[in-house]
Structure 1
Amino acid sequence: MASSRFYLASLLLCVLAIHLAESHHVLEHQKLTRESTDGSPVSESAVVTALNCGGACVIRCSKSSRPNLCKRACGTCCARCKCVPPGTYGNYDSCPCYAALTTRGGAHKCP
Structure 2
Amino acid sequence: MGTVDSGFCGNKCGERCKKAGVVDRCLKYCGICCEECKCVPSGTYGNKHECPCYRDKLNSKGKPKCP
TM-score, normalising length: structure 1: 0.55
| Aligned-CA RMSD value | 1.3
Q: Which residue of 1 aligns with 2:36?
A: 80
The structure having more radius of gyration, on CA atoms, is 1
Q: Which residue of 2 aligns with 1:59?
A: 15
Alpha-carbon distance in structure 2 between the residues aligned to 1:53 and 1:64: 16
In the alignment, structure 2 segments of 5+ residues that lack a partner are: none
Q: Is residue 102 from structure 1 mapped to residue 48 from structure 2 by the alignment?
A: no
Alpha-carbon distance in structure 2 between the residues aligned to 1:89 and 1:80: 19
What amino acid maps onto 1:104 in structure 2? S
Question: CA offset at residue 96 of structure 1?
Answer: 0.2
Q: Which runs of 4+ in 1 moved over 4 A?
A: none
Alpha-carbon distance in structure 2 between the residues aligned to 1:65 and 1:104: 22
Could you report, residue by residue, the CA deviation over 1:27-85 in whole angstroms, capped at 9, with x for unpaired residues? xxx7xxxxxxxxxxxxxxxxxxx550000000000000100010010000000000000
Q: Counting helix residues as a fraction of each chain, which structure ranks higher?
A: 1
TM-score, normalising length: structure 2: 0.89
Q: Percent identity?
A: 45
In the alignment, structure 1 segments of 5+ residues that lack a partner are: 1-25, 31-49
Question: CA offset at residue 104 of structure 1?
Answer: 1.2
User: Paired residues, what number?
Assistant: 64
